[in-house]
Every structure is written in C-alpha cells, then in structure tokens.
Structure 1
C-alpha cells in the first residue's frame, strides 16, 4: 500500500512512496547487524565526534527541516525551528556526557574488585510518532547510537519525508551507512522485524494500543522494550499565587503543538477559590487563537496533523457534552481544523476525563481540599507527567503524592535531555533521556575480579 505525504492544511498530496519490500527490510537488518560489530568497537571519542557533526548538520538544515514538518504535519515554522534546535542540543548533551554515563561503575564487593560495564545490545528498532517527528527520533537515537548500538526507524506513515530526511542527516554527518536507517514500512511489518534474532530491542512512542501490540511481540521474542505511551496529565492549581502567569502557562501547556503532545496538560484541576477567574482568563486566551497556514511566517497555530484526528477529537467532545459537560468555544471546524475549546463540568466516565484528548481541548474542574486535588490528579489510568502550581512547599508536597513519571512544580511539563522521561501505569515503562535513558539498551554487565 502506498505511503502518502499529505499537507493537512490544504489537503494536497505532496508525494507518494512505495512500502519497502521484504528483501529491502532484510538487507537493512543485515547491514545494521554487520555494522554493529565494528561500530561498537569504535573509540567512544569517534562516536562522540560524529554526534557533534550531526548537531551541526541539524542546525545548518534547520529551515528546510522545519518546512518539512509544516508541510507534513502542520507544525508552524517557529515551533519546527525550535524542535530542530532541541534535537541538536540533545546530540551535544550526549556528546558531552557519554563518557561519564558509559564509564565502568565501581561496586562495593566483599573482596577483590567489582564493577559494572555498560555494553551496547545491538540493532534497536524505533517505532516513532508524527507529533514531534524529529525530536522523538533524536531523543532515542542520540543516546543509543553513541553507546554503540545501531538503529532502524519505522516512522509514522504520515511523515515519510521527515523520516527520510532524518536518515539523510546521519549520512551528511558522516556516520557509517548501517548505523541509522529509515524503513518506510507499515505497522504490520513490525512483528517480523522483532522476531529476527539480529534485532535486540524496540523503543516505541505512540498510542496505548500500539504499545500493547509491540510489547506483546517483544515479550514473545524475549526482546527489551521501552514504551512511551499516552498521557492525560494533570495541571493542578492550588491557590492564587501569580494566577495570571499560571493561566498563561496553562494555555501554553494545553496548546503546545496544537495539543498534540503526550505531555500536554489535559486535565486542569483548579481550587474553587480561583476556579471562575481561571476559566475566564483561559477562555480569553483560547478565543484569541487564530489558525493559519503553518508555512506562513509568524503563524503561531496551525491545523491538526490529519483530518481524522480532528474528527476523533470532536467525537470525544460531543460524547462528553452529551453526558453533561459544557463546551466553551467553537471546536471542530471541519477537515483538520479545530479551534481550541474548554470543557467544564467534566466528570468520571466521560471521555474527557477517562481518555486522552489529543488536541486543543482543556477539561477543567474544581476542588476544595488538597486531598481531593491529589485524588483527582491520580484518578487516571495514565501517568506520564503533570504539574502543580502554588506556594512552593505546598506544591512540592502535592507533587510527591501524584503517581506519574514526572511532576513539575511551578513550571510546565516539558522534556529535557538532562531529565529522565517516561511514564507509569498505561503511559508505558522504561526511561528516555538523561543517563537512565542511555542505559536502557545497554547490558549492565557485572565483572568481579577476585
């Protein structure tokens, strides 16, 4: 089945690709496996220098790569540029810290000398999403390639040009051809790749159902897996501390990437003393949003990535309204256009509370006690991230009681190379970024010398 690159704002089909044949996939696996044997043996300094070159390539090609994201998934140019800058920073972070993260770690043995050696596993498959088409890939690739692994990328089917451009960046930086390869394949090809003995692990960022499917295949073949899945993150407002700023951050947290982010704030849990003021200010910000062509310089909001995603979001909103929620804002305008909206009166059982709303819709409800706020924040099958806003000591105490992979205090949830990233519950398992992320696809081998 052909793979299409389509502009979500205009509906224009940009280009069409053929799926990779089974022989091409076999050749790619063999090349990755063969290259691994020499790549892992290269001095770390050699791999680090290539990672630094990769950062330079990204920065040099920023404009072209940002334009690709605007064309294929509707990300405005300013956000695309920022994404590429973040990818380059990630490469530099691991270039700077790889030696420390990978050095032998001494152990307190009862006698003799004992230590842990971190050695790469081999060929790792990356199954990546469309919402941050470069960042999601580079936060996987930078740590695992510098540690000595090789990688195969199965990217989302709606961003094939981005997927091919990523592989081209590695080529331009001078990496051996088998270190990183893009495969234009459907999801149905993943099980056969994971069944191959030469492939030693898989990292997936995507939906809950995709995660379950890939995890089952990985387990069936005894392969290591890391899953970063959905989120329905809580944004807890405890008091009126700097409320104007908090509302600005709430809007930014909900509308980042047009709300198409696993760690975007989705459930706003606001103390009753500031609830009405919070909703009023948030309503004003949402109402001011103007959706424009993402290729237009100065655009701040574009379309959703695909028409069917906007339609699915609209169905979740409609069902929540039918169950008693109140919608503020126009919402769905057809095709891939969705005007930011607020849902009030959201309760347990509604899609707006139970499911992930992957688009620009904020679900807001009030609370009266801190205990209630903690209960509401934890009342989700997801646990990817969240934030708590208010007086610092009180907010930090609440953050420590929220069951999530990360909780930020008085700042919006965002990934950073230095901070471990990953969820609990139905948001997945394993870590990305920081030293924890680098170690995921290494063998922490214990050596004890008598």
Structure 2
C-alpha cells in the first residue's frame, strides 16, 4: 500500500506541546473529537453488553432456564452482532463512518433497555438479538474511523486507549450491578438493563462534533463517479484472489481473540458465585481485579503494537491467555485469594489480545473495502465465537463449569495460527 499525503501526518509534525501526551497531540485537531466519541462509544457499548453476563443467573431464575438456554442468550446476541457488523461495514463504505456509528449506538441502546421489559424467554432472545446488531456494527464503523484519522506512528496506542474505555464501561456495569442487585430484589436485572438507554446520550456529542475521515470521504466520492456496483460487491471482493488469503487468516484472528474472551467472561460471574461461593459484593470485588487487568491490557498492548509490531504483540498475549485461563480456573478450593492475584493477568491477557484488532484489520484492507473487511472479519469471527459460551454451558453440565471454561484457551491457539500467516503492518500508511 503506497503512502499518500495526509493532513494527519502534516498536523502531527506541527502540533505544539501541551498538557496531553504526544500520541494524542498527533491527532489532527479537527479529528480529536473522533477519539472521544470512540472512547465514549466503546465504554457505553461495554456497559450495555456486560450487563448480560452479570444478570444471566437472575434471568435464568426468572424464566426457569437451564445452563444451555442461558448460554443461548449470549450466543444469539453475538450471532446477531456478526450480522450487524458485516452490514455496518458495508454501509460505512457507502454512506460514511459517522452516520453508521450513530445508527448502531442508537440500536444497541434502545434494545438493551427494551430487554429489561421482556416478559418471557422468547422476548429476551429477540431483544438481545436486536441489541447485537448495534453492538457489532458500532465496532465496524468506529474502529475504522479512528484508524483512518490516527497517524501510523501512534495508531496502536491511540486505539489501545480508545479500547481501554471498554474496561471503564465494564467497571461501571459491575458498580451498577452491585448497587441494584443489593437493593432491588428479584427484578434487579430489569433495572440494570433499563440503564442501557444511557449510550443514546453520546449521539448528541457525535452529531455536533465528529466528522468523517478524509480517506472515507474521498473513497465515497470516487465510488459515486463510477458505475454503480451491487451493494454486496465489497463482500464479494473480500474473497477475490488478491484478498482471499488476508480475509481467511484475519477471520481466524477474529474468532480466536473473541472466542477466548467470551468463553471466559460470559461465565466468570457465575463461576465466582456458584463454584467459589462468593456473594454479589464478593463477586464484584473479584471482577474488579479482572477489570483493572483488562484496562492495563488494552493500554499496554497499544504501546506494544507501536513498539514491537502487530504480530509479536498478538502472539505474546495469546500465549499469556492460554496460561492464565488454565491457571485461573484450576485454583484449588479454599485459595480464593489467588483469584485476586491472577485476576489482573487474566484480564490483561484477554483484553490485550483484543486491543489491536481494530488497527490490524484496518491496515490489512484497502480503503475501497476497509469498512466491509473490518466488519466481516471481526464480526464473523464474533459470530463463530458466539458458540463458545453455549459450548461452555453445555459442557459444564457434564464436566463442571471450571473445566468447561478451559475451552477459552483453544481460541488463543487460533490467534497464533492466524497472525503467523499475515503480514506485519506496523507503520503502514492508510490511504
């Protein structure tokens, strides 16, 4: 991919010193709101999504569900996110990143809140599926937009800090869970989901302050001057001769990082409560250690992506993920204190693996199909990874929950296979 002149590079070299770190000041001033919109979007996305595993036990009690049925709620949400991500990617290449970002945030906010009004299991599956459409689409539009406005030298750490807001949103969800479940009785899960409407407030900021990247605008202008192509043309192009290899191995990375993450963190609250005998407050305390590790993993991985490259960073966190999953789930009974100690590296490994996907996938695909490429490989990967929670739920009835959660380690093996077959993209200019 050839280097093209960009306002991002020009601005980065002339930005004066200030109170913010250099990586932030390297962003063009007109695109700095993109950073904050992405930070808020990811954090609020995390808040809405992580309320589900926190409330899963109460939902199961309310609707008399077994572990397989409970896991299916998460699976449906993630499968829908795969569809939503692919659609959002296609649309963002045609109508712009910002417009699609706003649509997806509104979608997951509204349907998270509506899931709190579910009267039966079928309604819960429906609303969580519709929430998933927005949940998947938000990443496809937001990650590409940030990657396109960030200068190559600092792209990893900029995306790492944006991703770190996921840990912030998760932490806020745990805080809300602790307060609501300690006082609200059997309908506590409903109140928790109703808070999911809050992300809609981010739309006011995005509408007023966030603009599309120059790359995206020029690409849409070029497409407008050509013979109209089918809507699905971008999807077909991903499997053409020039991109097929990239697409298939990037899919392995997408499946692996998310399969490992969802297999563990969907069931972690239930594991702490049922297998380790922790109360609501106790579970929240142990989750806080994992969330702190998650924040450190996102930020640390961002710096490593810029310092040592994409491939080495992915492999490091994938190997760490295998070790941490096995160690955490096989801590002996009566040694709960070790859960706090190992919770930090567990969170670092899982979230460090996720931190570079938005940058790496954006750098792998050309501008004509970048939104589609990121949307498909990340969210189709999530769609396959969606079966990991259900698999854990099904296996837990035979082998026990802690043994079944070991399925997550298998995902990290796929990450290693995928990145070894893909090129190093550190420093690549996006045009």
Query: Is TM > 0.5 for Structure 1 vs Structure 2?
Result: no
Q: Which has the higher helix share?
A: 2
Q: Which has the higher strand share?
A: 1
**Given the two structures, how large is their TM-score scaled by the length of structure 2?**
0.19
- Name the larger-Rg structure: 1
**Given the two structures, how large is their TM-score scaled by the length of structure 1?**
0.18
